[in-house]
Amino acid sequence: MSVRKKQRTSLIHNKGIDSMDTEDPQSIEFSKIQTPYYEELSSELSSILGLDELETRIYLNLLRTGPITASALSKEMNVDRAKTYRMVDKLSSIGIVSISFSSPKLCVATDPDEILSITLKKKEEEISKIKKDGKNIIEKIKSVSSNESKSTMPTFRIIQGIENITSQIERMLETTTDVVYFVTSLDDISKLYHSEIPEKIRMVEKAGGMVRLIIDEASPKMLPFVKRFSASEVRIGKLPSKGRIVVSRSCPITGKLLMSDSAVKGTLHENVDAECALFTNSEEMTNNIFTLCTFIWKGATPVNIRA
C-alpha cells in the first residue's frame, strides 16, 4: 500500500515529508501545523471542558475519523500508543469518549451536544453544592478565626497555574471602578479572550472605569482577538518584559497588582501549572507600576478597535 493511500487528511495537518520512499513508510516524518482556526477551536473546547491540549486533539480527531481503534488513532496523530490509551481511558471515564463492544474495540467520540449537556450539569451540581454548604463553612471558619489575625500591612502571594491567575484577574476587574492597565503580548491576548476577562472588562466600564490594553503588536490577522478582548482602549507600545501586568489603584485592599512571569509560554493548556504570578496589595508597588504603565501608555500608538 502506498504512503499516499495511508496518509489521511487531519484537523492537525501534517507536513515535512522528507522522503517519498513507499517501501519504507516509517522513514517519513510528520510535523503538525496548527491553523489559527484549529487553535481557536481547540482553545475554546479546552476551556469549556477542562481538557488539556492532547485530550482536545484526541476528541477532535475522533469526531473527524469516526469510530477507530486506539492503536490506529495513535498512528493517525503520531502520538505514543501507551499515552493514547491512557488519554482514551480518561476521556471515557468522564463521558467524552465511548468504547464499543466489538473486537477490536473502537473509540467513539460523544456527540458535542451531549458533551455540553454533561458539562453544564456537572457545573450546576458544583455551584449548587457551593451555595448549599458555603455559608455554613464560612460561619465555621469565622468562629475559629481571630480578629487580631487581620492586618492592613502590605502583603503578597504567589499564584500558580494559568487558571488561578486568570481567576484572580477576573476578581480584580469585578471590583475596579477606575483605570486598569493590562500590559501583555498579542499572543497572550489571543488565549485570554477565551476566559471571562472580556465580560469582566465590560463590568468595569459599567461601573464607570476603563481598561487600557497595551500590547506589543497588532497584525491584521490577530486584530479580531484584540477586538473581542473588549478593552476600552488599545495601544501598541514597547513592553517592559514578556510577562503580564494588571494593575489598578482602585481595587480593594486584597490586591491591586498582578505580575505574571511567562505570558507567552505555549498554548492555553500547555504547561499551565508552570506559570506563576505575584499578587500584592502594596500601595507603593502599585503606584510605581501604575506610573510606569501610564508612561508607556502615553508613548504608545493608538489602535482603532471600534472600526
Q: What is the DSSP string of 176-240?
A: --SEEEEE--HHHHHHHTTSSHHHHHHHHHHTT-EEEEEES---TTTHHHHHHTT-SEEEE---S
C-alpha cell at 254: 486584597
pTM tops 0.85, yes or no? no
Judged by average pLDDT, the poorest of 42-46, 117-121, 278-282 is 42-46
Evaluate if residue 211 carries a pLDDT over 80.
yes
Place of cell 500500500: 1
Evaluate if residue 49 carries a pLDDT over 90.
no
Query: How many angstroms from the chain centroid is the CA of residue 169?
Result: 13
Tell me the angle at which helices 70-77 and 81-93 cross, rounded to the nearest 10 degrees.
120
* Mean pLDDT calculated for residue range 148-177: 83
DSSP symbol at 9:
-
CA dist 239 and 49 (Å) reads: 33
pLDDT at 290: 94
Evaluate if residue 139 carries a pLDDT over 50.
yes
pLDDT at 296: 94
Residues 212 and 297 sit within 8 Å (Cβ to Cβ) = yes
Cross-strand partners of 214 = 183, 235
* Mean pLDDT calculated for residue range 85-106: 90
Evaluate if residue 150 carries a pLDDT over 70.
no
Look at the alpha carbons of 45, 50, 52, 57 in this order and tell me if their dihedral is positive or negative.
negative
Confidence of residue 252 (pLDDT cuts 50, 70, 90): low
CB neighbourhood size of 111 (10 A): 10
Q: Which SS3 state, helix, strand or coil, does residue 148 take?
A: helix
Evaluate if residue 244 carries a pLDDT over 50.
yes
pLDDT at 13: 36
pLDDT at 266: 47
Q: In the chain, how many H helices and how many E strands? A: 11, 12
Place of cell 517519513: 28
CA dist 269 and 197 (Å) reads: 17
* Mean pLDDT calculated for residue range 52-81: 90
Residues 264 and 185 sit within 8 Å (Cβ to Cβ) = yes
Confidence of residue 148 (pLDDT cuts 50, 70, 90): low
| Kind plus residue range of the DSSP H or E element containing 258 | strand 257-260
Residues 155 and 255 sit within 8 Å (Cβ to Cβ) = no
CA dist 273 and 265 (Å) reads: 11
Q: Which SS3 state, helix, strand or coil, does residue 74 take?
A: helix
* Mean pLDDT calculated for residue range 264-278: 62
| 274/22: higher pLDDT | 274
Q: 43 vs 50, 74, 190, CA distance in Å?
A: 10, 21, 10
Residues 246 and 172 sit within 8 Å (Cβ to Cβ) = yes
* Mean pLDDT calculated for residue range 229-239: 91
pLDDT at 7: 36
Evaluate if residue 98 carries a pLDDT over 60.
yes
CA dist 13 and 47 (Å) reads: 22
Cross-strand partners of 135 = none
Confidence of residue 113 (pLDDT cuts 50, 70, 90): confident
